[in-house]
Amino acid sequence: MKKKMNFKEIQDFVKSLSKMGVSEINIKTEELELSVKYSPKKKDLKNLENTAFVQQMPFPNQMANISQFPIPSSSSHEKKSFEGKKVDKFEKKENLISIKASMVGTFYRKPSPDKPNYINIGDNVKVGDIICIIEAMKLFNEIESEISGKLVKILVEDSTPVEFGQELFLLEKNL
């Protein structure tokens, strides 16, 4: 007798795999064939900051996150965000809160290519508002905001893979 998994069970399964560092899993039927791939954890990559290496990355967004490695610049306390604006990394506002990915999958800012984004910078977001979609295992999961605030920054580019717990948005809390 085959048991079908419900959405919550699939979501818990994906979260568990993500916590173990699994970046890809393939399953076939007819007596089962299983293939599992692991990706290095970010803390392991930080230990290799001063080491030259070549590695095939499983997701394109990990190349975009290469900013975790120090890059010499004219001012050591500045870095560029993907939007091209200079950001002072020491400038932290206490009222900024990040919204993180609740699962591993592909991040989308809009419900379909011909529709507008769910939210844009400057928009006020309320608890329960749909803010993005994460596609996981061929399922499109609408992600709702768990906090209210004004959208200050989008940390992930549209149509890129995200990891469980990865920061997606920065919101300024409503006081």
Answer whether residue 129 is part of any domain.
Answer: yes
| Residues 109-165: tens digit of each pLDDT | 999 889 999 999 999 999 999 999 999 888 899 999 888 999 999 999 999 999 999
* CA–CA dist 13, 63 (Å, integer): 26
Closest among 96, 121, 95, 122 to 109, alpha carbons compared = 121
* CA–CA dist 143, 127 (Å, integer): 11
pLDDT computed for residue 151 by the predictor: 93
Answer whether residue 51 is part of any domain.
Answer: yes
| Complete edge-to-edge strand list for the sheet that includes strand 167-173 | 96-100, 167-173, 149-154, 124-125
The residue count of the chain comes to 175
**Are 126 and 150 contacting, i.e. CB atoms less than 8 angstroms apart?**
no
Answer whether residue 1 is part of any domain.
Answer: no
CA dihedral over 36, 61, 113, 116, signed as positive or negative: positive
User: Domain span at residue 65?
Assistant: 7-173
Answer whether residue 148 is part of any domain.
Answer: yes
What CATH code is carried by the domain that includes residue 129?
2.40.50.100
* CA–CA dist 36, 53 (Å, integer): 23
Closest among 166, 110, 175, 141 to 11, alpha carbons compared = 141
* CA–CA dist 49, 104 (Å, integer): 25
* CA–CA dist 144, 129 (Å, integer): 5
**Could you tell me how far CA 122 lies from the centroid of its own chain?**
20
* CA–CA dist 73, 81 (Å, integer): 14
pLDDT of 174 above 60:
yes
| Residues 7-48: tens digit of each pLDDT | 777 777 777 777 777 667 776 766 666 666 766 555 554 544
Dihedral angle of Cα 120, 81, 145, 174, to the nearest 10 degrees: -80
Residue 11 neighbours by CB distance under 10 Å = 17
> How many domains are there within the chain?
1
Answer whether residue 2 is part of any domain.
Answer: no
> Is pTM beyond 0.75 here?
no
Answer whether residue 134 is part of any domain.
Answer: yes
Answer whether residue 35 is part of any domain.
Answer: yes
